[in-house]
Structure 1
Amino acid sequence: MSQITLFTDILPEEQERMRVCFQTKEMIFQNGETIMEYSHSMNEIGLILSGRAVLYCCDEAGNQYLIDELKKDAVFGEPFLLPADSQHYYVNAEEETKVMFIDYKHVIKRCENACHHHSQMVSNLLQMTALQSRQQMNRIYVLSRSTTREKILAYLKSLSAEAHSQDLRLPMSYTALAQYLSVDRSAMTRELKCLEKEGVLKKEGRNIYLH
């Protein structure tokens, strides 16, 4: 399931036809630009073609939380996370990012030809939604740990299990990781140094090896 993308098992020529049928549009966003602000309209699905973006949540008090990192082939939009009235969700580009926007109504409404590639895309979306739900459950488990140390270890172990390796490359900066884990950056840095001294891990920049 982890290898599923929006166009898995859809031929390139079929993809081109779908771009026309689904009224897709492609846009490029620079670092710091807002790609999408969530509402209740569910008009569009976004697909990252290149670059990197982050999904943020802002509560009523103005506190900002990092919800998810979005890389190539990641999808986002209201259908994947129904926004709460008291919270504001938005996606920001973290570098130059190219995005394809797809009209959501065209995805859920079958065309008259009942094309195979349309059914395949819907199947891919369902599998990607299931994968995102699993990733969110993993994050809930990590955040439920009671100490900064336990959160770090739970997160690194989940990365290791996903990569099937003890050689890890953090997918985000340490500042972003502290936001993701909802911990103080300085406290996280201290814990990482302690874990390194204890021989639990070895760290070189964003490269980490778990012993």
Structure 2
Amino acid sequence: MPTISLFTDILPEEQERMRVCFQAREACFQNNETIFEYASSMNKIGLILSGRAVLYYCDEEGNQYLIDELRKDAVFGEPFLLPTESQNYYVKAEETTRVMFIDYAHVIKRCENACHHHSQMVSNLLQMIALQSRQQVQRIYVLSRTTTRKKLLAYLESLSEERQSREIRLPMSYTELAGFLSVDRSAMTRELKNLEQEGILKKKGRNITLKIGER
């Protein structure tokens, strides 16, 4: 999967000018602190400068679901997920996390000079939206599998393809993975043990080596 950030192909000196032009502001958040709550209008774009955060969805009963993990150069905000007023999405820091916020209006409104770097940022933003859409389609495919085993294998295969390696490291804890896959933690642990005994994968902590494809 191609790597792209909001400032791809934009020179450092141009980035500094854009920070001023877009009235960007930076903030630091501690572990478990709420970084951002989604609204039904497109107001802000957040860019992870360092650290790790997670996008969650909370239903009407107060159940929390992990939707996506956000690391350095990841972006979030209403343009990437436009919820309705009844949907509660929010981003929380999982460790000390530094974030830059940009007003969405400054991104889509061309400046008088029609700067090349402004056009490049809009192009980057559109590509990032497309990539996130592809990731969501992949997740829908994983969640549509009918068993815990099939969900696990589909997810691990997608990670393997993304990183172009049969040796992968889970980007989240096993508890978070169970939530991400919408499966029971104990059932998932049993399936991982079965897959290891069958020689389909080898596991050491969060490091997993895929031996063969799905049976």
**Structure 1 residues 17-166: aligned runs within 5 Å:** 17-166=17-166
- Kept after mapping to 1: 8 A contact 2:55/2:66: yes
Q: Give the partner amino acid of 1:58.
A: C
Write the distance in 2 (CA, Å) between the matches of 1:9 and 1:74: 16
- How many positions carry a matched residue from both structures? 211
Deviation string, structure 1 residues 85-130 (Cα, Å, up to 9, x no partner): 3220000000000000001100000000000000000000000000
The CA distance in 2 between the partners of 1:159 and 1:126, in whole Å, is 23
Question: Could you tell me whether the CA contact under 8 Å between 1:59 and 1:86 is conserved in 2?
Answer: no
1:12 aligns with 2:22: no
Counterparts of 2:104 and 2:84, CA distance in 1: 20
User: Contact (CA 8 Å) 1:22, 1:106: kept in 2 or not?
Assistant: yes
Equivalence for 2:208:
208
Answer yes or no: is the 8 Å Cα contact 2:39–2:85 preserved in 1.
no
Contact 2:40–2:84 at 8 Å: present in 1 too? no
Q: Which runs of 5+ in 1 are unaligned?
A: none
% of aligned pairs identical? 79
Runs of 4+ in 1 over 2 A off after TM superposition: none
Can you give the 5+ residue segments of structure 2 that lack an aligned partner in the other structure?
Answer: none
CA distance in 2, matches of 1:40, 1:136: 20
3-state DSSP of counterpart to 1:142: helix
Give the letter for the 2:41 counterpart.
Answer: S
| Distance in 1, Cα, partners of 2:106 & 2:190 | 50
- TM-score, normalised to structure 2, is 0.97
Q: Give the whole-Å Cα distance in 1 for the aligned partners of 2:44 and 2:119.
A: 18
Deviation of residue 2 (structure 1)? 2.3
Does the CA contact (< 8 Å) of 1:23 and 1:103 recur in 2? Answer: yes
| Cα displacement (A) at 1:63 | 1.5
| 2-structure distance, mates of 1:183, 1:115 | 48
SS of residue paired to 2:69: strand
- Name the CA distance, whole Å, in 1 between partners of 2:76 and 2:171: 18
**1:152 partner letter:** L
